[in-house]
């Protein structure tokens, strides 16, 4: 069966990109990463991709007069590479409604909180300030509003006594590295469908019980 062709957009070190690259090395994984694009020339994630013989590209957003002009070139590069599904992995640009709608239900993102809690930035600081006992991460389909969209999967991470934003961030990142490949697998295999702005997953792919920290596993 043909594997879904995936493009990944990054801006930095590519920690979640590495998790996706590792997962897609398995020939039975239903997706393959065919292109990694960055808006930062020195992004470490580009080197991660090159080491695994994945095509890379750099498009400097500062050279464009508008976000849409930049995104049109990003879109053209994705289309040229035959990309069918786009993953955001630390892509530090707010996307315009034009791009989001062009890739509607084919564009997913990972966010370091249990959405809808703590949208935006500095999620770990805000979680600690709020005194929550459980934090985590979310993979969702992207919508024009920031950190909105049908939720594909979530992973919980405990908040421990003495946590700092850095220690909590590292614990959540470990959860992210498990969750993102699991959700990509689900989407690429057509196990996740959007209906009425909710992700519908067949019963055969859902988890039993309510004790799981990662859903889907």
Mean pLDDT of all residues belonging to the chain: 94
Q: Residues 105-132: what's their mean pLDDT?
A: 98
> Which of 87, 103, 119 delimits the end of a domain?
103
Residue 202's CATH number: 3.40.50.170
Q: Residues 11-20: what's their mean pLDDT?
A: 97
- pTM across the whole model: 0.94
Three-state secondary-structure class, residue 22: helix
- Asked if residue 120 and residue 84 are part of one domain, the reply reads no
Three-state secondary-structure class, residue 63: helix
- Asked if residue 132 and residue 64 are part of one domain, the reply reads no
Residue with tokens 């934090």: 135
Give the structural domain span for 126.
110-217
pLDDT in tens, 48-107: 999 999 999 999 999 999 999 999 999 999 999 999 999 999 999 999 999 999 999 999
- Model pLDDT, residue 1: 72
- Model pLDDT, residue 191: 87
- Asked if residue 114 and residue 217 are part of one domain, the reply reads yes
- Could you tell me the pLDDT band of residue 212, with boundaries at 50, 70 and 90? very low
The answer to whether the peptide bond before residue 116 is cis (omega within 30 degrees of 0) is yes
- Asked if residue 83 and residue 36 are part of one domain, the reply reads yes
- Asked if residue 44 and residue 132 are part of one domain, the reply reads no
- Asked if residue 206 and residue 115 are part of one domain, the reply reads yes
Give the active site residues. Answer: 111
pLDDT in tens, 136-159: 999 999 999 999 999 999 999 999
> Which of 41, 68, 103 delimits the end of a domain?
103
- Asked if residue 206 and residue 116 are part of one domain, the reply reads yes
How many separate domains does the chain show? 2
In 3D, which of 130, 142, 174 has the Cα closest to residue 156? 174
Q: Residues 3-26: what's their mean pLDDT?
A: 97
């Amino acid at each position: 069966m043909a594997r879904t062709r995936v493009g990944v957009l990054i801006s930095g070190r590519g920690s979640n990109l590495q998790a996706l690259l590792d997962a897609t090395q398995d020939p039975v994984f239903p997706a393959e990463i065919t292109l990694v694009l960055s808006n930062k020339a020195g992004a470490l994630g580009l080197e991660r991709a090159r080491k695994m013989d994945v095509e890379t590209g750099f498009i400097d957003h500062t050279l464009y007069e508008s976000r849409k002009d930049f995104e049109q070139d990003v879109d053209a590069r994705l289309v040229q590479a035959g990309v069918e599904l786009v993953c955001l992995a630390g892509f530090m640009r707010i996307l315009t409604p034009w791009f989001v709608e062009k890739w509607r239900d084919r564009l997913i993102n990972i966010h370091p909180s249990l959405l809808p809690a703590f949208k935006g930035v500095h999620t770990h600081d805000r979680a600690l300030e709020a005194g929550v006992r459980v934090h985590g991460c979310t993979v969702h389909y992207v919508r024009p509003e920031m950190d909105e969209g049908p939720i594909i999967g979530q992973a919980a991470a405990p908040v421990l006594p003495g946590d700092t934003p850095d220690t909590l961030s590292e614990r959540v990142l470990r959860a992210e590295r498990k969750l993102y490949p699991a959700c990509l697998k689900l989407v690429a295999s057509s196990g996740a469908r959007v209906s009425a702005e909710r992700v519908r997953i067949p019963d055969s792919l859902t988890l039993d019980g309510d004790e799981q920290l990662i859903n889907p596993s």
